Amino acid sequence: MDKTDLNKLPDGFDHQAFLSIDSTNKEAIRKLEQGDASGLWITSSEQTLGRGRSGRDWVSKPGNLYCSLIQKVGDDIQKSAQLSFVASLAVRDTICEFVESDLVKCKWPNDILISGKKISGILLESYQDKQGWNYMIIGIGINVAHHPDKMLYDATHINEQVEHIFSHVDVFFILTHKMSKRIGGWQKNGFDHIRSCWLDHASALGERISVRLPNEQFEGRFVDLDASGALMLDMDGEIKHIHSGDVFFAE
C-alpha cells in the first residue's frame, strides 16, 4: 500500500480507540443507541469480554487487533449477511500485505488461515435503531503479536510469520482501506463478484471435510457456495446446503 495511507482512514470513516473495553461489538451497539452513524470503526487494545462465533470466548490480551465496524445496510438483513464474505476478503487482503498471498486462505464461514492455521475471526451482529434503520456490526479479531493455544483449531499470528515486527495499529489502518475497497465492490457489483473472489481463495474447496453443528455432523466434499453463501456439501451425490457450522478438514 501507499505509505501515505498507513496513518489515515479512508474517506467516509471515523475511528474511536479504547485502551480496554468489554467488547468492541458491544461498544458499537452502545454507539448506535447514542445515534452514531455508519462508518465508525471502534478499536481497543484489549477486550475483557471478547466473543467469537457461537458465543465462544475470544482471548483478547493486548498486542492483537480487536475492532468493529458499523455498516448501515438495507431492508434485507439476510442479504447483509453477505458482509461476512466481504469482511473475510478484506481481512485476507490485509494479511497478504505481510505474508505471502499463496499461504493465506479463506475458511468457511468467516475465518482466515495461514498455512492452515487460524489467524483471524469475524463476528457479525445485526442491529435496528428506533427509526427502523438496519445496521451490521462487523467484529474482527486478527492475531498480530500472539495467538491462543488449545483452541478448536491450530492458530498463528502475523509476527510469527515475518521478520519485521508489526503492531496492531499498523494492521488496523491497512484493514480500513481494504474493507472500504471490498465494501465498495460489493455495493457496486453485488454478491456474485464477492462469492467468486472468495472461492478463488477458499480453503479445502473440492476436498472432503466434516461440518459440525450443535446436534449433528455431516461429512462430504466441499463443492461450492450457493447464492446466499451457504456451503454446498456433496454427500455421495446429494448436495446439502449448510448455513452455519464448524468446518474440520480431513486428516
Give CATH 3.30.930.10 domain extents, the chain.
3-200
Give CATH 2.30.30.100 domain extents, the chain.
208-249
Residues recorded for the chain: 251
Locate 203 and state its grid cell.
480453503
* CATH, range 3-200: 3.30.930.10
Q: What is the DSSP string of 66-95?
A: EEEEEEEE-S-HHHHTTHHHHHHHHHHHHH
Residue written as grid cell 498480530: 144
| CATH architecture, domain 208-249 | Roll (2.30)
The pTM (predicted TM-score) of the whole model is 0.92
Locate 249 and state its grid cell.
478438514
Q: pLDDT tens for the chain, 251 residues: list them.
A: 555 456 789 999 999 999 999 999 999 999 999 987 899 999 999 988 766 544 455 556 889 999 999 999 988 777 888 999 999 999 999 999 999 999 999 999 999 999 999 999 999 999 998 888 899 999 999 999 999 886 777 899 999 999 889 999 999 999 999 999 999 999 999 999 999 999 999 999 999 999 999 899 999 999 999 999 999 999 999 999 999 999 998 76
